Amino acid sequence: MGSQSPVSTDRYEELYEEHILPHFEDPYHKGLLPVATCQHSARNPLCGDQVTLQLLIDDQGRVAQAHFDGNGCAISQAGASILCEQIEGKTVEEIENFTAEQMLGLIGVPLTATRQRCGLLSFKILKTLLYSRDGQDAPPAT
């Protein structure tokens, strides 16, 4: 898990303003697709964050679209938005190599171990999706 070097409060505020708030206030692809290749939901029992992640994967095994929906803290919801933006256009193989460390890097602000569970919620869902997919597609979203 990402080792977090301490940053000053000023720097933290800057990072939050740059990385978190834009995604929280104006999220990327928030709202579910009528049809998706696969989808999965999970919640973080600690704060009740809830995220559903949907992938539309094309014939080349590439993520054509990634959407999410959910509610919860800014870290969990911005994290989902950041993740969707990041994985679109990537192949499943590329996404399989995507690490928690990289995800924490994209979130940008240093997170305590407790808050990492919020920040990595959508990442965890993504990994569950990939490993449970096994070639068979989930039923379309309702």
Partner 1 sequence: MSTMSGKPSTGTPPAWDMAAIRADFPIFEQVHPRTGRPVVYLDSGASAQKPRQVIDAVSQCYAEYYANAYRGVYYFGDRVDAALERSRESVRALIGAADASEVVFTSGTTMSVNLVARSWGAKFLRPGDEILLNVLEHHANLVPWQIIAGETGARLIYVPLTDDGRLDPERVAQSLTPRTRIMAVTAMSNVLGTIPPLAEIIPLCRQNGTLVFVDGAQLVPHAPIDVQALDADFLAFSGHKLFGPSGVGVLYGKRSLLEAMDPFLGGGHMIDEVFTDRSTWAEIPAKFEAGTLPIAPIVGLGAAVDYVRGLGWENIHRHERELLAATHRALSQIPGLTILGPEQSHKGAIVSFTIDGLHPHDLADWLDRRGVAVRAGHHCTMPLHDHLGIHASTRGSFAFYNTLAEVDALAEALRYALKKHHLG
Q: Which residues bind partner 1 (CB under 8 A)?
A: 6, 9, 12-13, 16-17, 21, 25, 46-49, 71-75, 115, 118
Sheet holding 38-44, edge to edge: 38-44, 49-57, 63-71
DSSP 55-103: EEE-TTSBEEEEEEEEES-HHHHHHHHHHHHHHTT-BHHHHHT--HHHH
State in angstroms the smallest separation of the CB of 92 from partner 1.
32
State in angstroms the smallest separation of the CB of 109 from partner 1.
9
State in angstroms the smallest separation of the CB of 73 from partner 1.
4
Nearer to partner 1, 87 or 109 (CB): 109
Nearer to partner 1, 14 or 88 (CB): 14
Q: How far apart are CA 86 and CA 95, in angstroms?
A: 10
State in angstroms the smallest separation of the CB of 22 from partner 1.
11
- Compute the chain's Rg from CA coordinates: 15
Nearer to partner 1, 90 or 110 (CB): 110
Nearer to partner 1, 74 or 138 (CB): 74
Nearer to partner 1, 49 or 69 (CB): 49
State in angstroms the smallest separation of the CB of 3 from partner 1.
16
Whether 78 contacts 57, CB under 8 Å? no
Whether 48 contacts 72, CB under 8 Å? yes
